[in-house]
Amino acid sequence: MKENKYIVDIITTGLKISRVPKPTKKEFIQFAFEHFEGDYGMALKFLWDYYKQNKLLQLIMEKLLELEKKIEDKNIKPEHIKINEKFEKEGGGKEK
């Protein structure tokens, strides 16, 4: 006797979040309507992606601070060139 195999697709269509403070809920709903036409799922996705990007930026900043500390500890004095000045010297930022 052959064994039957069933493929079951589970589709979730909702997410229930409890214990949300009323002011936060009101702000989130307003945000979703202003930026995502009331689509709470896309608003949540946007906020989650934004959170992940900020965590990555935080890690990058921590690494930069570690490098800065190492440079200070070794008494290395790098040239202080403002990014905008260097950019302008290389011809960037000017329309031709």
The pLDDT tens digits for 24-74 are 999 999 999 999 999 999 999 999 999 999 999 999 999 888 888 887 777
The pLDDT, as a whole number, for residue 5 is 54
What b/e string do you get for 9-46 counting C-beta neighbours within 10 Å, with b at 16 or more? Answer: eeeeeeeeeeeeeeeeeeebeeebeeeeeeebeebeee
Average pLDDT over residues 80-85: 56
The pLDDT, as a whole number, for residue 10 is 53
- pLDDT over threshold 60, residue 1: no
Query: Does the model's pTM come out above 0.85?
Result: no
Spatial separation of the C-alpha atoms in residues 74 and 22, rounded to whole Å: 52
The pLDDT, as a whole number, for residue 77 is 61
All structural domains of the chain with their residue ranges: 22-89
